[in-house]
Amino acid sequence: SPDSKWLLATYNGTAGWCIGDIALLRADGKGEPVNLTQSGYTDSSPRWVMDGRAMIFRSDRAGYRAHGSWGAEWDEYVMFFDAAAYDEFRLSKEDLALLEASDDSKKSKRDSTRQEVKELHFDLANLETRTMRLTPTSTRLGDAIMDSKGTRLYYVAPYNGGMALWMRDFKEERTEMKLKNISAGLMRPDKELKYCFFTGNGGTIQRLELATSAIKEVPFETFASHRTQEEQACLYEHIWRQTKEKLYDPDMNGAPWDSLYTVYKKFLPHIDNGYDFSILASELLGELNVSHTGCIYRPSGSALPTAELGALFDETYQGAGIRLAETLPGGPLDTHPDIKAGSIITAIDGKAIGAKEDYLPLLAGKAGVLTRLTIKGRKEDILMRPISASAQDDLLYRRWVRRNTALVDSLSGGKLAYVHIEAMNGESFHRLYSTLLSDKNRQREAVIVDTRHNGGGWLHNDVCELLSGKRTVRYMPRGQHIGDDPYNRWVKPSCMLICEDNYSNAHGTPWLYRELGIGRLVGAPVPGTMTAVWWETMLDGQTVFGIPQVGCMGMDGKYGENQTLTPDITVYNSPEQQLSGDDQQLHRAVEEMMKK
């Protein structure tokens, strides 16, 4: 605070891990935190304004919320700690000018340039009546700062696919964009609250004059020497210490952590690159025998990513070129109906492909780039735009889901619905919700919910709430059934498919599904990996390591970590069955649900 006696901090309160508040604390450490917001929503990023008589903070209480998983739009708010500051903020431009012109206002004028700093006093009663929303629209908000008089708010918000600096003038009731293409990082004011510094386009440092909104680039240069082994010794020390202080189990899951520090440190002098260092750190972290950890080295590089053609190829073909086995629906070759299984691509952009020759270098950097394919037996070449590897993965995933859906339709005679949850995130939940509650599937008698090969996220409550509906009302105008309550939940039987490849929240979701008694689990046992992780990017900007920081403990007092989830009906798919598409787990799930 301006008088150096108080602190503002984000505050979890009682079991408020996902519901952040803002607390007022004494700087001397005495007394208890005072919860200022008490909103039930997520409030964060407090900052003193108006000489400590108010604070601005960020909140998601008014924004659109993610349909599934976490995420919401944010706004900037202001909370006033006394009625006089609240009244002063709401003055019109003309009334404020009159106030500042009076002799009395000159003596009590809140100007950050004055030398005297008065002790702060807080009126904490009825704070909710002195809390106001400042931003005109909810959005993906970055940092924010207010000028010393409380007449202007500068904040970072999206514009045209990037981030921009915006200014909201409360007295003139206008919003203006000040600078495009800036960093979404923090805005740093100087001590006198005259200037604010932030990162602009290309890593430039920008200076904002709060009184006039003038922006100027700050020129700078810096030099650094890189001492690899000293840096890696620092990174090693940091990983070991951070893990010791933050792992969910203070007993380090039984690992002799202090001794292990010495055991692995002796290898540091023999390491001179980031790849080897990440392996050493992963070996150290692996001694904990927990999930969500390890070390990754992600160097910046200039290698061009290899594009894909949106097709599968005949690996038995021995001749020149590459022969298509299948074109993927929705892929770039899908618009050429005469290009199909059996077609042979003999050249890419005029470069011939010999027998058994690796054609992938010809697709380096070609994703989204107009590319010419020569097809055997065709007079004219075709033009198409190859896709990225991730886009092809998505086409293959959708192909797998369509195959599973068709198999369930065939085996059940159209009585069962099938849905797959690709990941435990918002996008996957939207797809699940849309598919599950479609008109087609509302006519089905039960559903198979497939979570196999899901890498996790945070969706367990959303999924289980969606699947746990109980019909309470039927809406019937003149005897015609037009809907049920709940209309936005599945109200029929279900089972859930699981396998060895489920991870993290894809362990927690089926665990909760069974814990709530929604349905039975079918498939292979899932390793116990339901733990929340913190991935930290280290000072070199290229090394990342994970700490499973928050354990998930059931009401039986046991952590989910390392607790194998055994299905109600155990079915394994062998590698041979996987390769041939003989999905015995799905067959068994259909058999189970047809009994309902």
Q: Are 20 and 39 in contact (CB under 8 A)?
A: no
Q: What is the pLDDT of residue 491?
A: 96
Q: What residues contact 178, with CB distance under 8 A and at least 6 apart?
A: 154, 164, 165, 166, 167, 208, 213, 215
How many CA within 13 A on the CB side of residue 498?
Answer: 33
Where b means 16+ CB within 10 Å and e means fewer, 98-131 reads eeeeeeeeeeeebebeeeeeeebeeeeeebeebb
For the chain, the C-alpha Rg in angstroms (whole number) is: 30
Q: What is the pLDDT of residue 120?
A: 94
pTM of the predicted protein model:
0.87
Share of the chain above pLDDT 90, in %: 82
Nearest to 240 by CA among 269, 261, 262, 215: 261
Q: What residues contact 130, with CB distance under 8 A and at least 6 apart?
A: 79, 80, 81, 83, 86
Q: pLDDT per residue over 145-182, tens digit each?
A: 999 889 999 999 999 988 999 999 999 999 999 988 88
DSSP E strand boundaries for 12-83:
21-26, 34-35, 43-49, 54-59, 75-80
DSSP string, 497-562: EE-TT--THHHHHHHHHHHTT--EEEES-B----EEEEEEE-TTSSEEEEEEEEE-B-TTS-BSTT
- End-to-end Cα spacing for the chain: 64
Residue recorded with tokens 């702060």: 120
Q: What is the dihedral of CA 535, 541, 543, 545, to 10 degrees?
A: -10
What phi and psi, each to the nearest 5 degrees, are found at residue 55?
-135, 150
Q: What residues contact 112, with CB distance under 8 A and at least 6 apart?
A: 51, 148, 192, 193, 194
Residue recorded with tokens 């500042």: 100
What stretch of H or E contains 209? strand 205-209
- Distance (Å, whole) CA 188 – CA 146: 11
Domains 311-387 and 415-528+564-593 share a fold: no
What stretch of H or E contains 460? helix 460-467
Pick the CATH number of 6-218 from 3.40.50.10330, 1.10.760.10, 2.130.10.10, 3.30.70.600: 2.130.10.10
Q: What is the pLDDT of residue 292?
A: 97
Q: What is the pLDDT of residue 106?
A: 57
Mean pLDDT by 10 residues, the chain (596 residues): 95 84 95 93 95 96 87 95 94 84 57 65 94 95 92 94 93 92 87 89 87 90 88 96 97 97 97 95 98 94 89 95 96 91 96 94 96 95 96 97 97 98 95 96 97 96 96 94 93 97 97 97 97 94 95 94 97 92 96 92
- Distance (Å, whole) CA 353 – CA 421: 39
Nearest to 243 by CA among 277, 298, 287: 287
The one-letter amino acid code at 249 reads: D
319-322 contact pairs (CB < 8 A, 24+): 319/344, 319/355, 320/346, 320/352, 320/353, 320/354, 320/355, 321/345, 321/346, 321/347, 321/353, 321/376, 322/353, 322/359
**Can you say how many angstroms the Cα of residue 315 is from the centroid of all Cα atoms in its chain?**
38
298 token code pair: 């992600």
**Can you say how many angstroms the Cα of residue 380 is from the centroid of all Cα atoms in its chain?**
46
Pick the CATH number of 228-297 from 3.30.750.44, 1.10.1040.10, 3.20.20.150, 3.30.70.120: 3.30.750.44
The one-letter amino acid code at 102 reads: S
Pick the CATH number of 415-528+564-593 from 3.90.226.10, 2.40.30.10, 3.30.420.40, 3.90.550.10: 3.90.226.10
Q: Are 36 and 12 in contact (CB under 8 A)?
A: no
What stretch of H or E contains 282? helix 274-286
What phi and psi, each to the nearest 5 degrees, are found at residue 561?
-60, 130
Give the single-character DSSP code of 96.
Answer: H
Beta bridge partners of 44: 58
Residue recorded with tokens 């920008």: 206
Pairing verdict, β 494-498 and 446-450: parallel
What stretch of H or E contains 327? strand 322-327
Q: pLDDT per residue over 550-561, tens digit each?
A: 999 999 999 999
Nearest to 519 by CA among 429, 427, 416: 416
3-state secondary structure of 400: helix
Beta bridge partners of 177: 166
Domain ranges of the chain: 6-218, 228-297, 311-387, 415-528+564-593
Residue recorded with tokens 């605070």: 1
152 token code pair: 């202007």
- CATH homologous superfamily for the domain 311-387: PDZ domain (2.30.42.10)
Chain length of the chain: 596
Nearest to 268 by CA among 255, 257, 281: 281
Nearest to 39 by CA among 54, 59, 57, 53: 59
Q: What is the pLDDT of residue 249?
A: 96
Q: What residues contact 353, with CB distance under 8 A and at least 6 apart?
A: 320, 321, 322, 345, 346, 347, 359, 362
Q: What is the pLDDT of residue 253?
A: 96
Cα dihedral sign, 576-578-582-583: positive
Nearest to 466 by CA among 450, 488, 485: 488
